[in-house]
């Protein structure tokens, strides 16, 4: 099994989708071995603990700088022999040094069809607000490799979601999660795990 480490900051709905996908056999070449949060009260940690997954917390304020913060994360990833890193609502931009170290081994899900509504400042509800303000009729989600440019890595999977009359950012966020993010993130994780396994 390819060991997966998931980096989280919040409620962990995408983490839950990954846990469920592992249980249902959608993810069959990987296993979630570690969940790391940069917030000690993130509900994602509870989700992990409820499913017997090892957790760790690394707080930026307890580190001298961003470099030490990343070094602590790397140490945890190495100790747990993590081969694939999934960012599931992780609200920290990783440095070029970090992303190069794990080239083609970090994936992220973004709640729009990249290259629309992505990059710095586009996260959470901001993405859906921008889509609605612009008046696009279709949005969706994208799973991509993570490099030094926010949302700039190669695209692995995309799924479109229709925008409906009367949508608010909150309603749209929920539909994009349910109809796109929670489907393509586990599928992409399995695809990459399979590739890692085959390349061993």
CATH code of 98's domain: 3.40.50.170
CA distance 103 to 76: 18
* pLDDT tens per residue across all 200 residues of the chain: 999 999 999 999 999 999 999 999 999 999 999 999 999 999 999 999 999 999 999 999 999 999 999 999 999 999 999 999 999 999 999 999 999 999 999 999 999 999 999 998 999 999 999 999 999 999 999 999 999 999 999 999 999 999 999 999 999 999 999 999 999 999 999 999 999 999 98
CA-nearest of 21, 28, 22, 55 to 193 is 28
According to the model, what pLDDT value does residue 200 have? 87
Residue range of the domain that includes 69: 2-199
- What predicted TM-score, i.e. pTM, was given to this entire model? 0.96
Sign of CA dihedral 89, 148, 71, 81: positive
Strands 106-110 and 138-145: antiparallel
According to the model, what pLDDT value does residue 145 have? 98
What's the structural domain count of the chain?
A: 1
CA distance 30 to 128: 31
According to the model, what pLDDT value does residue 40 have? 96
110 is catalytic: yes
Catalytic residue among 110, 126, 128, 144: 110
């Amino acid at each position: 099994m390819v060991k997966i480490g998931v980096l989280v900051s919040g409620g962990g709905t995408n983490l839950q989708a990954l846990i469920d996908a592992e249980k249902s056999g959608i993810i069959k070449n990987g296993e979630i071995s570690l969940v790391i949060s940069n917030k000690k009260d993130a509900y994602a940690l509870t989700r992990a603990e409820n499913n017997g997954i090892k957790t760790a917390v690394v707080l930026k304020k307890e580190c001298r700088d961003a470099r030490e913060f990343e070094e602590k994360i790397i140490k945890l990833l190495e100790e747990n022999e993590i081969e694939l890193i999934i960012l599931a609502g992780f609200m920290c931009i990783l440095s070029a040094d970090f992303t190069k170290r794990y080239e083609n081994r970090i994936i992220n899900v973004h709640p729009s069809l990249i290259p629309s509504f992505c990059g710095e400042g586009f996260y959470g509800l901001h993405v859906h607000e921008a889509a609605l303000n612009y008046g696009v009729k279709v949005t969706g989600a994208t799973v991509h490799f993570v490099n030094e440019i926010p949302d700039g890595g190669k695209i692995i999977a995309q799924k479109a979601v229709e925008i409906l009359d009367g949508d608010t950012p909150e309603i749209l966020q929920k539909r994009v999660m349910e109809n796109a993010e929670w489907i393509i993130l586990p599928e992409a994780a399995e695809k990459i795990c399979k590739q890692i396994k085959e390349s061993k």
